Each structure stands twice: as structure tokens, then as C-alpha cells.
Amino acid sequence: MLNDVTFGQYYPVKSFVHNMDARAKIVFMIAYIVAIFLAKNFFGLLAVTAFLIFVVLLSRVPFGRVLRSVKMILFLIIFTAILNLFFYSGESSYQPLVEWWIITITWESIVNMVFLALRLFLLVMGTSVLTLTTTPVALTDGIESLLTPLKWIKFPVHELALIMSIALRFIPTLMDETNRIVAAQKARGADFETGGLIKRAKAVVPILIPLLVSAFRRAEDLGDAMDARCYSGAKGRTKYKKLVFTWRDLLGLLFLGGLITGVVFLNIYLGGKFSILGYFL
């Protein structure tokens, strides 16, 4: 049921991307997201897609494993895209294809739907590459290092980074726990796949209650383990592995700078997302 969840799971392999500094990868992910939203036409999204494929090849993570990260939110992508199809309020210069009550479908609304779906798809895939190529410990150190200036205003940077790391770490663990609970409930005769919406919603209750109990128990065990190891926050802590900025990170920065520059030029010379309609209509 939930075996395809890859977000938060680290894929152990030696590659160019795995060996990059965690801080650099976080900054690159942010810049990659900026490039996605800077793209105003399909040519820009094509450049972002080509860059993502290149990064996945460098990371040596199977494409299937990266694509599975989209499966869990595929419904959300489709639902959002359909809403934009039916209720897009842009000024259309084309004859409406469908016009009924408050719903108007035009060629522009179709293009906008596809454009938005591609944006969300690339966004999820790009962020999943970060968690697949970075260990939770390195991710915590990277977040803490990047947020270091906030320590000047007494912001609990270390604690925030630790919370985010633990949350990512326990996503696959809770998914495995959910699979075991579902299998146990099915063995007792529970049915999760038939019936109407209300019946299916009621069928989820025997899953949620044991899952919440298990989550609280794991949280309590983790707290006891941290207390037993005399964990007291960031005060007086040292790091076994220190993050080092290398030539790989500089090369990645140059590639990302080229991507953002290319996307901006494509926006300037090839127009907006609706310019593609001129090629077909």
C-alpha cells in the first residue's frame, strides 16, 4: 500500500551528488525551486527537466525510485490541475471549448493546467533527490549551519534542525508501521478497498488509532534514549564530521547559475507559457 514512499529515505551509493556538501545541496534545492517558478514557458520547464535528469544520472539513484516519490501526491497534482482547468480566470483570446454555468474551458486553461502539473511534478522530484542523496545527520548539520546567523537573536537553530531531521527520519518508519497495521487488519477481515466514501473513511479508524499509539511510543522511546545519552541541546556539543565546501559544490553552483540564467533568457526571448499556442493554433 505505502511501499512506494521514498521521501525521507536515503539511498546509499557513492556518487558525485552524494559526496557534495549538505549545505550546498540545500542551497541548490532552493535555487532549483526558484528556477522552476522563474520558468514562464514550457521551454524553461524543459531546461529544468533536462537539468534534473542530469542530476539524477550523476547521483546514480534509479529513475524509478525518484519517480515513486510522486506517486503519493499524484492525486493532489491531478486535483489541483483539474481545478485550474475549470476555474482559470485568465483573459482568453480564443473561443471557449466548453462553457457551462461558472465553468469555462479554453485552450489557455488547458495549457495552464499542464504547465501547473509539470511544475508540481518537477518540484516533488527535485526535493526527493535531496533526501535520497543526503543522510538525516548530514541534513541536520547542513540546516543548522545555514541557520547559524539566527543564533544571534537566540533562535534555537540546533533544536529546529534536529526536529526537521527526526521528522524526515521517521517518515519511512511510520510508513512501514502503517503497512504492518494494514496487513494485520486485513488478516482480521477488514476491508479497505470496497464501499463508498463514508465506509472507507470508517475503515481508516482501525489504522489511525494503532498508528498514533505506535508513534507516541516511538517518540517516548526516542526521548528516553536521548536522556540516557545526556543530550542537552546544542550547548557544548562538538561534531564528529565537519562539513567542507569542495570543488564539487563550486561546480554545482556554476551549473545552477547557468540554469537560472538560461531560464531567464528563455522567458525573455520565447514569451510566456501561452506562446506555445501560436505554434499549433
DSSP 98-162: EEETTEEE-HHHHHHHHHHHHHHHHHHHHHHHHHHHS-HHHHHHHHHHHTGGGGGGT--HHHHHH
pLDDT score recorded for residue 281: 52
- Whole-model pTM: value is 0.76
pLDDT score recorded for residue 98: 65
pLDDT surpasses 50 at 1: no
More confident residue, 102 or 19: 19
Most confident region among 85-94, 166-175, 212-221 by mean pLDDT? 212-221
pLDDT surpasses 60 at 272: yes
Q: What is the mean pLDDT of the chain?
A: 80
C-alpha cell at 214: 505506535
pLDDT surpasses 90 at 78: no
Among 28-32, 49-53, 60-64, 152-156, the range scoring the smallest mean pLDDT is 152-156
Among 40-49, 161-170, 233-242, the range scoring the smallest mean pLDDT is 233-242
- The mean pLDDT of 135-147, rounded to a whole number, is 82
CA distance 216 to 170: 12
Lookup result for grid cell 561534531: 239
Among 96-100, 212-216, 221-225, the range scoring the smallest mean pLDDT is 96-100
Residues above pLDDT 90, as percent of the chain: 7
pLDDT score recorded for residue 48: 93
Residues above pLDDT 70, as percent of the chain: 83
Report the SS3 class of residue 23.
helix
- The mean pLDDT of 3-13, rounded to a whole number, is 67
* Measured CA distances, 189 to 179, 183, 204, 219, 238 (Å): 15, 10, 14, 30, 52
Report the SS3 class of residue 3.
coil
CA distance 193 to 1: 11
Q: pLDDT band for position 51 (50/70/90)?
A: very high
Characterise 154 by phi-psi region: left (phi > 0), alpha (psi -120 to 50), beta (else).
Answer: left
